[in-house]
Structure 1
Amino acid sequence: MPTRPTAPHPQEQRTRRADRRFGIRLLGAVAAAAAAAIPFALLLVLVEASWPPLRRVDAGAARRLHEVALEHPAWTGTLRILSDWVWDPATLRIAVALLTLWLLYRRAWRLAAWAAVTATGGALTGVLVKVVVERARPSLEDPVAQAPGYSFPSGHAMTATTSFAVLLLVLLPMVPRAWRVLCWGVAAVSVLGVGFTRIALGVHWFSDVIGGWLLGAAVVVLTGWAFEAWRADSGRRPTSVAEGLEPELTDEDPEPPAPVGRG
């Protein structure tokens, strides 16, 4: 006699529905971040152009740090190495790409999707805002560094924010609790250091860096919300930032197959 097709287990059906909603929310989160970024960027540039206090802060920071850079060439060389190699967007994106491949190897499909979409969405949002705003970079006499393209927001600052957030929120479950504060400290120092180097080298205004940090954080918050909503939809417990997005990553099989019903 022909056997009846096996009906999907209720938990499997629930997981499939959660997956579909997760994909929609993840893409919607990036779109929301981009949509919110454009008016924010335009508003910030208009304020910078007409509000004297912010204009003085931008010009004053650029002038003072440029004077220090000219007086201390060895220090400036160190900043250039950090900015162009250690904290370069390409370096950080490669790190996130390798992490994503490792997650795929571990069959942590949804976490891999979150990491890839967060990094890619952040990069595309930054490019979109740069094209819309078209803000010129600082023009200094005897510059110590050059950078192509528009100025607002800082791509280095935005990439550092999204990349270190991805690395932290994915890898924290595998870090002993005693070391997690150190990991957060290294990430914070790196993100702040990226912004400082871009201003000190004279290739970005102070407000460019602030804009990059804020937009990068917005992307991470929105995509992180989408991932947490998927966990709730699929019946998983809520998590805190201190333990990462998916504490189950430390299990041997972080994505076990859903049980199949009997025929």
Structure 2
Amino acid sequence: MPTPSVESPPRPSAERAVSGWAGALALASALLLAMVALRWQPLMSLDGTVADTTHRWALGDPGLTHAFRILTDWVWDPWTMRFVTFAAAIWLVWRHADRWTAVWLVVTCAVATLVQQTLKAAVDRSRPTWPDPVDSAHFAAYPSGHAMTATVVCGLLLWLLHKHGTTGPVWGTAVFVAAVSVIGVGLTRVWLGVHWASDVVGGWLLGALVVALAVGVDLRRSRDRAERPGEALS
């Protein structure tokens, strides 16, 4: 199977599919945000039940809880994820002289952080509180910054691998690592009692929305460049 060129024009169907996903994710994100902001009682009750159950499990298995703290505080920490993004951007510039994609990558990550912090301040949701906490966290709860950042970073990196024609075991490994990271960081935040389950789901949805919008921008740019072959590559 030939490796597709990064400058080949995207199929219109790909752009339509991305737009459709972005619309669906925006709708789901808005609905969940409204339910959290309005404190919709069925959701609050479900969040409380899940939190009580997972906190009980966390207290009952200190070894697993400690492992989850290491993963969430170091491996899947938002700053670790952002460092991976910056490293990928530097590699793109150094290896391919692809400055636009490097900037696209960093700017998308920065925009996601801005959206996340703005929503935290606007919603101002309190985190779960416990008489016997197993971990602590700062700032407001919604959305989960860990879940959103992991989704954005893993989604963008998977898109870049796909765009450069990555297949076979490398692609399978990348998808597996990304899925474990995104799902795993969300579960650790709930297990450690520092987020409600809906905070994590909100982070996943918003992160996926940011990725869909960013991919849409990248697809349109690739199409425009293909339609103007005389432009300089940079």
Same fold flag (TM > 0.5): yes
Shift of 1:182: 2.6
C-alpha spacing 1:37/1:125, structure 2 compared with 1 (3 Å): farther
User: Whole-Å Cα distance in 2 between the matches of residues 37 and 133 of structure 1?
Assistant: 17
Q: Percent identity?
A: 40
User: Whole-Å Cα distance in 2 between the matches of residues 132 and 41 of structure 1?
Assistant: 14
Partner of 2:148: 158
User: Whole-Å Cα distance in 2 between the matches of residues 213 and 151 of structure 1?
Assistant: 14
Shift of 1:229: 0.5
- 1:204 pairs, out of 189, 195, 216, with 195
Partner of 2:10: none
Shift of 1:204: 0.1
- 1:70 pairs, out of 52, 56, 59, with 59
- Is the contact made by 1:154 and 1:212 (CA closer than 8 Å) also made in structure 2? yes
> What secondary structure does 1:234 align onto?
helix
> Which one is further off, 132-141 or 175-184?
175-184
TM-score by length of 1: 0.72
Query: Where in structure 2 are there 5+ consecutive unaligned residues?
Result: 1-6, 8-22
Question: 1:88-146: per-residue Cα shift (whole Å, max 9, x none)?
Answer: 01111011001111112221122112211111111111001001000000012201000
Give yes or no for the alignment of 1:104 onto 2:98.
no
Give yes or no for the alignment of 1:216 onto 2:207.
yes
Runs of 4+ in 1 over 4 A off after TM superposition: 35-42
> What secondary structure does 1:63 align onto?
helix
Shift of 1:199: 0.1
* Structure of larger gyration radius: 1
Partner of 2:69: 80
> What secondary structure does 2:139 align onto?
coil
Partner of 1:141: 131
Query: Where in structure 1 are there 5+ consecutive unaligned residues?
Result: 1-14, 16-31, 237-255
Give yes or no for the alignment of 1:56 onto 2:45.
yes
- 1:122 pairs, out of 112, 117, 120, with 112
User: Whole-Å Cα distance in 2 between the matches of residues 38 and 200 of structure 1?
Assistant: 23
Cα RMSD for the two superposed structures:
2.5
C-alpha spacing 1:188/1:38, structure 2 compared with 1 (3 Å): closer
> What secondary structure does 1:183 align onto?
helix
Partner of 1:186: 177
> What secondary structure does 1:137 align onto?
coil
TM-score by length of 2: 0.80
Paired amino acid for 2:177: V
Paired amino acid for 1:118: T
User: Whole-Å Cα distance in 2 between the matches of residues 97 and 37 of structure 1?
Assistant: 29
- Is the contact made by 2:33 and 2:202 (CA closer than 8 Å) also made in structure 1? no
Paired amino acid for 1:108: D
Question: 1:36-95: per-residue Cα shift (whole Å, max 9, x none)?
Answer: 899656413145x2332x222201111111011111111100000000000001111011
User: Whole-Å Cα distance in 2 between the matches of residues 153 and 182 of structure 1?
Assistant: 28
Paired amino acid for 1:72: D
User: Whole-Å Cα distance in 2 between the matches of residues 155 and 222 of structure 1?
Assistant: 18
